[in-house]
Amino acid sequence: MMTLALSLAFLSVLSTSCQKKSGAEKGSVDGPSNYPYQATATVGMIADIVQNVAGDKAKVEGIIGEGVDPHVYKPTRADVVSLSDADIVFYNGLMLEGKMGDVLIRVSRKGKPVHAVTEVILDKGDYVMTDEQEHYDPHVWMDVQGWIKATDVVAKALGDYDKVNEEFYQTNAENYKAELVKLDAYAKKVIDSIPEKQRVLVTAHDAFNYLGRAYGLKVRGIQGISTESEAGVKRIETLVAYLAENGIPAVFVESSVSQKNVMALVEGAKARGHDVRIGGELFSDAMGATGTYEGTYIGMIDHNVTVIARSLGGEAPEKGLNGKLSHKH
**Rounded Cα distance, 289 and 313, in Å:** 28
pLDDT tens per residue across span 104-117: 999 999 989 999 99
CB 54 within 8 A of CB 81: no
Mean pLDDT, rounded, for 68-76: 87
Angle (nearest 5°) at CA 99 between 98 and 101: 65
Pick from 139, 151, 183, 155: which is nearest to 286 by CA? 139
Give domain limits for the chain: 37-183, 194-312
Does 158 score more than 80 pLDDT?
yes
3-state helix, strand, coil in the chain (%, to 5): 50, 15, 35
Mean pLDDT, rounded, for 280-289: 93
Of the CA atoms within 13 Å of residue 309, those in its CB half-sphere come to: 25
Strongest mean pLDDT among 13-27, 230-244, 294-308: 294-308
CATH architecture of 37-183: 3-Layer(aba) Sandwich (3.40)
Does 14 score more than 80 pLDDT?
no
Residue 280 belongs to what H/E stretch? strand 277-282
- CATH superfamily name and code, 194-312: Nitrogenase molybdenum iron protein domain (3.40.50.1980)
Query: pLDDT value at position 3?
Result: 47
Query: pLDDT value at position 128?
Result: 82
Share of the chain above pLDDT 70, in %: 85
pLDDT tens per residue across span 192-242: 999 999 999 999 878 899 999 999 999 998 875 444 455 567 888 899 999
Selected residue with higher pLDDT from 134 and 31: 134
Mean pLDDT, rounded, for 185-190: 99
> Which are the contacts of 106, defined by CB distance < 8 A and separation ≥ 6?
none
Instruction: Read off the pLDDT band of 4 (50, 70, 90).
Output: very low
Query: pLDDT value at position 224?
Result: 53
Residues paired with residue 218 on neighbouring β-strands, in sequence order:
200
Angle (nearest 5°) at CA 226 between 76 and 10: 65
Does 82 score more than 80 pLDDT?
yes
Selected residue with higher pLDDT from 60 and 135: 60
Strongest mean pLDDT among 259-263, 278-282, 284-288: 278-282
* Whole-number Cα distances in Å, 211 to 70, 108, 129: 19, 32, 11
| Helix residue ranges, H only, 113-227 | 119-122, 144-161, 166-192, 209-215
**Rounded Cα distance, 180 and 174, in Å:** 10
Instruction: Read off the pLDDT band of 260 (50, 70, 90).
Output: confident
Does 194-312 match 37-183 at the fold level? yes
Q: How many residues does the chain have?
A: 329
Does 119 score more than 60 pLDDT?
yes
CB 146 within 8 A of CB 123: no
